[in-house]
Structure 1
Amino acid sequence: MKIKRFTGLTAAIAVGALTLTACSSSSDDEATTEESTGASTGIVSVNGSEPQNPLVPANTNETGGGLLLDQLFSGLVYYDADGAAHNEVAESIESDDQQNWTITLKEGWTFSDGSPVTASSFVEAWNWGALLSNATLSSYFFEPIEGFSYDEESELKGQGLEVVDDQTFTVKLKQPEADFPLRLGYSAFYPLPESFFDDPEAFGEAPVGNGPYVLDEWTHDAEATFSPNEEYAGERTAQNGGVNVKFYQTQEAAYNDLLAGQLDIITAVPDSAFETYESDLGDRAVNQPAAIFQSFTIPEELEGFTGEEGDLRRAAISKAIDRDTITDAIFSGTRTPASDFTSPVIDGWSDSVPGAEVTQYDEAEAQDLWAQANEIAEWPEDRTFTIGYNADGGHQAWVDATTNSIKNVLGIQAEGNAYPAFAEFREDITNRSIDGAFRTGWQADYPALGNFLGPIYKTGAGSNDGDYSNADFDALLDEAASAPSVEDSNALYQQAQEILFQDLPAIPLWYSNVTGGSADTVEGVEFGWNSVPLLYEVTKN
């Protein structure tokens, strides 16, 4: 069993925040070339899920689409297995004041169609992603840039973004933010070729990127196939003949294919196999900490969950969940009960944020809180509290256990609300048409505490699916982002979490290990800090 513990991820990059230089010398480049010429030719297969939306970087904020985009595109930086950032398309990212940044690109980069990757490729892509008229799911990530607005059409070009020449552009932020370079490996910041702007809809079905692979075919609800990108100019050179991402309806089906040699890599083992997968796979089993937080969200306007009544009911439900028993019985120790809204593998994490006691199982207190809420407004006897989830993701067991815990402690009806597929589930969440609470979680985009807070809970953020809004919380996030050091920033993020524990826009459940594995058909399988396998490293003959 491979076990790797990651610590100090933010610190790994903080030292180089002002100037990130190229990661390899000329001798390193020569070694990469020699390795790539001897790369294996087999097609590596991995499980995945049908993306919610067409493959447009700024409009993808879920793991199904994210896995595909990360094969197709290269950003200014990329993250290695330990979460450290390395320049990829960027030659340097420099600032004298942490507010005004100059970004210089390496020469020789092209998209897979042969068109050049220039400063305009980034500026135009970011500007498009920030436009309110495009309603992108990741527009929040452009909020710190001068010119962004939630009230009127944003125009970053000419305000926060300026093209200096083909290889250089500048970024002006609304305030100093020392960790700005750390974010730039996230998909929202990927460049786009000119062909995208001619027909964004068509591009989303057949995207052209600048990453290690090109998309050969996307068969909806079935699979996506990739081959190595001959135009790729970076360090993540494909060591195989391509990648096949298979979309499965259940994790059990994927795991059975893995055991049968019909799948090379599985990114999540079904709970039915937790007791056996390490013996099934031997040293090819993976169980390692990852930057993943799991919860379920109770929408802000859900009946019975607003105002003082809502505060009481949210706290009662949180205290009615026996996280220790559920993680032991359902997950066999591959999950750890959550005591905050972030992840223990991120630098600055704390298990003693004031208010965290609301995550502790306490039947008597849960019942008392529920009774106090009923004094304000009685909970209807015929009403059922539901948690929505996608059945293709292996969530039924924990949802059933969680709702049973709530039902048994509070004496109300509670059950899961199953959707057949992830895309359908996400569509109802995005459209605000889901009825009841729903499972949520966060796989980090970049290794920082703020990434678990701002995108999910800040007012108007693209992944704020419960429509939570608290001005004091927002102000603390802004203050944390402009703090002079990572340590100062983390202290403010912990203060912001105190507010989350009071409001409970989501109910923290547990932190996830990545529990995956590989068949004996492949070598060099490594799962990164955020639970995603580094597919370009995998060899298969």
Structure 2
Amino acid sequence: MPANTTETGGGKVVDYLWSGLTQYDNTTGESSNLLAESIDTTDSKVYTIKIKKGTKFHDGTEVKAKNFVDAWNWAAYTPNGAQGASFFAEIQGYQDVTSADPDDDGPQKAPEPKAKTMSGLAVVDDHTFTVTLSEPFSIWPVKLGYSAFVPMPDAFFAAADKAEWGKKPIGNGAVKFVSWTNDVEINLTRFDDYNLSDKVKIKDVKVKLYQSDDAAYNDLLANNLDFMQQVPVTALAGDQWKTDLGERAISKATPVTQIISFPLYDKRFQNPDLRKAVSLAINRQEIAEKIFFNSRKPATTWSNPLAPGNGANDCTICTFNEAQAKELYQKAGGFQGKMTFYYNADASHKAWMEAVANSVKNVLGIDAVATGIPTFAALRERINAKKMDGPYRAAWQQDYPDVENWVGPLYVTGGSSNDGGYSNPQVDALFKEGVGAANVDAAHAKFAEATKLIDADAPSMPIVTVEEQSGYSTKLKNVETTNVGELDLSKVEIA
């Protein structure tokens, strides 16, 4: 379910199955209309959106304006439990469809929201709807290419069990769902009634689910896998992957940062001095050089350098500083027991997460260890359930090209991917001021102010930024990757 899929594994499949109002350029990341015929505003507060006529969902029903309005209302309504609800926070009436749990998973229940639909959404006709924001926000249209904003078919709203519906989803994209075998593969096929600009030429797509990226890489080299978004770390040494793949090796800077987050609901991690000490004890430069063979760069910012509005070197806790780390650790009163750094073991995270733990252990004397959880799905299940008892890998891939996407979802109270439970009312207020700023520059200035407070609180630790190393088999031609490194299905052909 698009509005409830906030991790990149499921996100890839959602991107294949659905088409949204806008799309992002593979190289620049710039937004352009896809399903939208036009997105107009005179004041950056009220937007009139016209969609193209004659597009269909995979069940043959027409995509209409109400399918957007109904989908956004469903996602924002708190009782539905969609993780992506906060993406709709700028829309007028969002506060009326949301309510907070008074004791965070305790015995009390969140009260019923005042309304079931947002007052800022209105259907004009079958192909037109209006969106009224709580206040002007010039960056808002940039968000519309993200998967939370796609339309949902009438069949979704009619389904009594939404989770079951999500196992056989009906999208409106260039490929449609065929079958799904858990932990093995997801099968898709071309949707021949698709009529937007990003049609696919290939007939079938099999998304293979691996328990090890080394196994996936071996399949790639054997021509049993046609595309791999990130080759394993083991193939990076001496540029072995380039030797293996030759002209089929793709290197591309992507708006992705490897981050480690703290579970702030665990009292042991609620002291910001401890969190800063841990971050300052990590030698990012050494990790980039020795583990990633300089295919990654040490993180120096809270957002990614490719994000418009990114603040250069705004992460003061990202620089290795033994003396300051020890001083803050003493100030925090130390740490009792074992500090476990968690990661998903089905991708190449073991070496760098162990390097993080060893760095913390050597500098601060903490009994720090890195522990792998078998799969990304299992890791995310524990994170979503707020059952983490140590820092954990929580990388972020940009949803849409703006620094706002690195502040709101991750660090604003109730953000869609604020999994550690970080909350600072001043950050929330500055973010809201940025959203309501008169222009993009003013918005970015407010987000920068919020970032300074985030830096002082250290709710997480940016570690390295990612340049992606992808590869494809001899069976393919015209291979391109999207701005976030996914395979562009609309370009690829069989050789």
TM range (shorter): over 0.9
Counting only pairs closer than 5 Å after superposition, residues 410-449 of structure 1 correspond to structure 2 as 410-449=364-403
TM-superposition CA deviations, 1:481-502 (whole Å, max 9, x none): 2222222222222111111110
C-alpha distance in 1 between matches for 2:33 and 2:221: 38
Aligned to 1:29: none
Counting only pairs closer than 5 Å after superposition, residues 518-537 of structure 1 correspond to structure 2 as 518-537=472-491
C-alpha distance in 1 between matches for 2:301 and 2:118: 40
TM-superposition CA deviations, 1:235-287 (whole Å, max 9, x none): 11102112111000011011110011111110011111112111211121122
Q: How high is the TM-score relative to the length of structure 1?
A: 0.86
How far has the Cα of 1:155 moved from its partner? 4.0
Q: Which amino acid aligns with 2:217?
A: Y
In structure 2, do the counterparts of structure 1 residues 66 and 438 end up closer, same or farther at CA, with 3 Å as the change threshold?
same
Does residue 1:285 correspond to 2:244, yes or no? no
Aligned to 1:272: 234
C-alpha distance in 1 between matches for 2:332 and 2:171: 53
C-alpha distance in 1 between matches for 2:94 and 2:3: 15
Aligned to 1:349: 310
C-alpha distance in 1 between matches for 2:331 and 2:144: 47
C-alpha distance in 1 between matches for 2:493 and 2:135: 45
C-alpha distance in 2 between matches for 1:127 and 1:457: 23
Task: Check the 8 A contact 1:145/1:156 in 2, yes or no.
Answer: no
How far has the Cα of 1:536 moved from its partner? 2.4
C-alpha distance in 2 between matches for 1:269 and 1:490: 34
Aligned to 1:112: 58
Q: How high is the TM-score relative to the length of structure 2?
A: 0.94
How far has the Cα of 1:341 moved from its partner? 1.3
Does residue 1:479 correspond to 2:433, yes or no? yes
Does residue 1:136 correspond to 2:97, yes or no? no
Among 368, 374, 387, which residue is 2:327 paired with?
Answer: 368
C-alpha distance in 1 between matches for 2:63 and 2:116: 19
How far has the Cα of 1:80 moved from its partner? 2.2
TM-superposition CA deviations, 1:329-383 (whole Å, max 9, x none): 1111111111111111122223233xx3321111122112112222xxx533xx1
In structure 2, do the counterparts of structure 1 residues 482 and 266 end up closer, same or farther at CA, with 3 Å as the change threshold?
same
Larger RCO of the pair (alpha carbons < 8 Å, separation 6+): 1
C-alpha distance in 1 between matches for 2:118 and 2:81: 21
Aligned to 2:18: 73
Q: 2:339 aligns to what SS in structure 1?
A: strand
Residue identity (%): 39
Counting only pairs closer than 5 Å after superposition, residues 99-498 of structure 1 correspond to structure 2 as 99-149=45-95, 150-151=98-99, 152-153=112-113, 155=115, 157=117, 159-199=119-159, 200-275=162-237, 276-306=240-270, 310-353=271-314, 356-374=315-333, 378-380=334-336, 383-498=337-452
Q: Which amino acid aligns with 1:72?
A: L
RMSD, aligned α-carbons: 1.3
Q: Pick which of 520-529 and 166-175 moved more.
A: 520-529
Q: Which ranges in structure 2 are unaligned for 5 or more consecutive residues? A: 100-111
Task: Check the 8 A contact 1:127/1:155 in 2, yes or no.
Answer: no
How far has the Cα of 1:302 moved from its partner? 2.2
C-alpha distance in 1 between matches for 2:335 and 2:290: 30
C-alpha distance in 1 between matches for 2:131 and 2:153: 20
Task: Check the 8 A contact 2:263/2:388 in 1, yes or no.
Answer: no
Q: Which amino acid aligns with 2:276?
A: A
Q: Which amino acid aligns with 2:126?
A: D
Task: Check the 8 A contact 2:303/2:311 in 1, yes or no.
Answer: no
TM-superposition CA deviations, 1:108-150 (whole Å, max 9, x none): 1111111010011101111111111101010010111111123
Task: Check the 8 A contact 2:18/2:150 in 1, yes or no.
Answer: yes
How far has the Cα of 1:293 moved from its partner? 1.4
Does residue 1:95 correspond to 2:51, yes or no? no
